[in-house]
């Protein structure tokens, strides 16, 4: 099949493109600065786009089977000022609208659009287990997710199958949340953040890209699907990091310090949600890293492998 990855020049997009090409598919990454993508492996094509118009790439949709929308400003690259919030929302909505408009105008349309989203759609809770039938929450991230997911909804009326993957925090030893979480433990000052009772829904990068390929190939997959291995509390995460890294894990970082450091963005760390991936599992997906112990041990000892056997381990 031929894939287009919008916003595919980041960590997840590149890993996904490598997997797809090694599996025999054709893959095009849409990037704002393709000339700067010097480390893109052979077999992956690059096309320039501005994130909100069809200029330079719209014609490529005529030949595509699947479009995967990964585009969006990084949530954790700065404090959430009013300007930053607007950039976070606009980058997602504009990209989704551009994809919808291009597909509307295409004579030959892709059969599938996969909208990558996040578990922040549900808001936060210390005790509820969120499923795909739960409504949007009322906080900033839930509002972002509602707008983000809505931006590609028009393709459904065009006969295109649309899948929304609401992912937990993607763990990789290359970048993202995991290196930041592991750093205090490397320095022997690791421990729970805030109360430690808040939930973290997470997924290993390998499983994230496997799931994206899985739903692109499984015609029964449609609508919203949660994507998380077994969620853990922050305290459970800290305990496992300490155990796997042979470091202490009892030095807490008080909530007020995180508030001072990060402002409103600290809610991502101090509050959380526990999501269920039962629907994805019922479709036949199996996590290679279903629990936090196997995921952290892999990240510490083996690194990241873009192409893996999808049936190595059964899911929870």
Three-class secondary structure assignment of 124-179: CCCCCEECCCCCCCCCHHHHHHHHHHHCCHHHHHHCCEEEEEEECEEECCCCCHHH
**Angle ∠(66,305,273) on CA atoms, nearest 5:** 70
Q: Is 272 strand, coil or helix?
A: coil
Nearest-angstrom CA–CA distance, 315 and 287: 5
Please name the residues in contact with 246: beta carbons below 8 A apart, sequence gap of 6 or more. none
Looking at residue 38, what is its pLDDT?
61
Looking at residue 265, what is its pLDDT?
67
Looking at residue 304, what is its pLDDT?
41
Below-50 pLDDT ranges, the chain: 303-316
Neighbours of 223 (CB within 10 A): 11
- Which CATH topology does 2-175+202-230+277-288 take? Rossmann fold (3.40.50)
Looking at residue 37, what is its pLDDT?
65
Nearest-angstrom CA–CA distance, 28 and 21: 10
Per-residue pLDDT of 8-60, as tens digits, reads 888 899 999 999 999 999 999 998 877 666 666 778 999 999 989 989 899 99
Looking at residue 75, what is its pLDDT?
83
Looking at residue 305, what is its pLDDT?
43
Per-residue pLDDT of 117-156, as tens digits, reads 999 999 999 999 999 999 999 999 999 999 999 999 999 9
């Amino acid at each position: 099949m031929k894939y287009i990855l919008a916003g595919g020049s980041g960590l997840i997009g590149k890993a996904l493109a490598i997997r797809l090409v090694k599996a025999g598919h054709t893959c095009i990454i849409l990037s704002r600065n393709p000339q700067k993508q010097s480390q893109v492996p052979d077999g992956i094509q690059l096309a320039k786009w501005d994130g909100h118009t069809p200029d330079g790439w719209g014609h490529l949709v005529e030949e595509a089977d699947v479009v995967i929308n990964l585009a969006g400003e990084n949530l954790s690259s700065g404090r959430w000022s009013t300007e930053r919030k607007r950039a976070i929302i606009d980058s997602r909505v504009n990209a989704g609208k551009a994809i919808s408009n291009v597909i509307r105008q295409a004579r030959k349309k892709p059969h599938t659009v996969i909208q990558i989203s996040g578990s922040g759609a549900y808001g936060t809770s210390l005790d509820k287990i969120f499923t795909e039938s739960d409504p949007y929450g009322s906080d900033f991230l839930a509002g972002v997710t509602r707008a983000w997911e809505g931006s590609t909804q028009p393709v459904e009326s065009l006969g295109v199958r649309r899948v929304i993957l609401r992912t937990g925090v993607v763990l990789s030893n290359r970048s993202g949340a995991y290196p930041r979480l592991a750093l205090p433990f490397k320095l022997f000052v690791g421990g729970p953040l805030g109360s430690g009772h808040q939930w973290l829904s997470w997924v290993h990068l390998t499983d994230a890209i496997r799931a994206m390929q899985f739903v692109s190939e499984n015609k029964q997959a449609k609508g919203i699907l949660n994507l998380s291995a077994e969620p853990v509390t922050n305290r459970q995460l800290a305990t496992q990091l300490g155990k796997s890294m042979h470091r202490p894990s009892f030095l807490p970082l008080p909530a007020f310090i995180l508030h001072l450091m990060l402002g409103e963005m600290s809610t991502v760390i101090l509050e959380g949600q526990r999501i269920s991936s039962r629907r994805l599992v019922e479709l036949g997906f199996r996590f290679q890293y279903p629990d936090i112990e196997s995921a952290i041990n892999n990240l510490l000892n083996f690194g990241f492998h873009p192409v893996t056997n999808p049936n190595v381990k059964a899911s929870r």
